[in-house]
Amino acid sequence: MASSALSILSGIGAAAAGLAGEKVPKSGVIPGLDLAAIIPLLLGGKAGGGNLLGTIATVASKSGVLKGSNLESLADLAGTLLSTGKADKKSASAKDGIGGLAAMIMGGSGTGANLASIASMAMKLGKKAEDEKELTGMASELGKTLSGSFGVSLGGSAKAVSGLSKTLEGDTKSVLFQSILKGIVK
């Protein structure tokens, strides 16, 4: 579960970048979204209070143990963030729109090429949005689809998501990332 949670979180990051119009290279590095910095916040480090796991993640992040390019070391931590239910077969087979993007994230491997594909599909969807409000709405709808159709939930992290606001200020990708996460908070 831990590695699939990390794949899902990476997929969400790639989708946010894509919706914002950023390409994700085949290396899988997501522009403007350092998951190694974000995961400790979601676990309760800094933003969420005295959560022991969050504190450990924050210390690990500061010490350089966590690197954006070495997300495998975060798999165990990411596994505590997300839980998934059973996928609705109809949603899982969707090919277009938000449902298709959600299905791609859920079926993702977390590899660089896979994240690049997710970002590319998200970019096509994002181009259909007429303004920022509609784009944020798409991101929110993606979060709700991941939650409603695929049973993805971000347990007890409402505080951490609000704490991310300050950390990720002023970046369109960050706003979209937060919108997706807000859609999957329990």
What the block records as the tokens of 25 is 């290279």
**pLDDT digits 0-9 by tens, 94-134:** 567 999 999 999 988 888 999 999 999 999 999 999 999 99
pLDDT band, residue 47 (cuts 50/70/90): very low
- pLDDT confidence tier of residue 163, bands split at 50, 70 and 90: low
Highest mean pLDDT among 86-90, 120-124, 174-178: 120-124
Rg (CA), the chain: 15
pLDDT digits (tens, 9 = 90+) for 133-146: 999 999 999 999 99
Mark out the alpha helices in the chain (DSSP H runs).
2-19, 35-42, 52-62, 75-79, 89-92, 97-106, 112-126, 132-148, 158-167, 172-184
Q: Which residues contact 162 (CB under 8 A, 6 or more apart)?
A: 47
Please check the confidence at residue 67 and state whether its pLDDT lies above 60. no
Query: What mean pLDDT is predicted for residues 4-24?
Result: 91
Per-residue pLDDT band at 61 (split at 50, 70, 90): low
At 48 the pLDDT is 44
Task: Please tell me the number of Cα atoms within 13 Å of 158 on its side-chain side.
Answer: 3
Q: Which residue has the tokens 């109809």?
A: 90
What's the predicted TM-score (pTM) here?
A: 0.82
The per-residue pLDDT of the chain, averaged, comes to 79
Phi, psi (degrees; rounded to nearest 5) at 153: -140, 145
Give Cα separations from 99 to 34, 49, 168, 183, 186 (angstroms): 26, 35, 26, 14, 20
Q: pLDDT > 70: what percent of the chain?
A: 68
Q: What percent of the chain has pLDDT over 90?
A: 34
Q: How many domains does the chain have?
A: 1
Name the amino acid, one letter, at 135: L
Q: Tell me the residue range of the domain where 109 lies.
A: 2-184
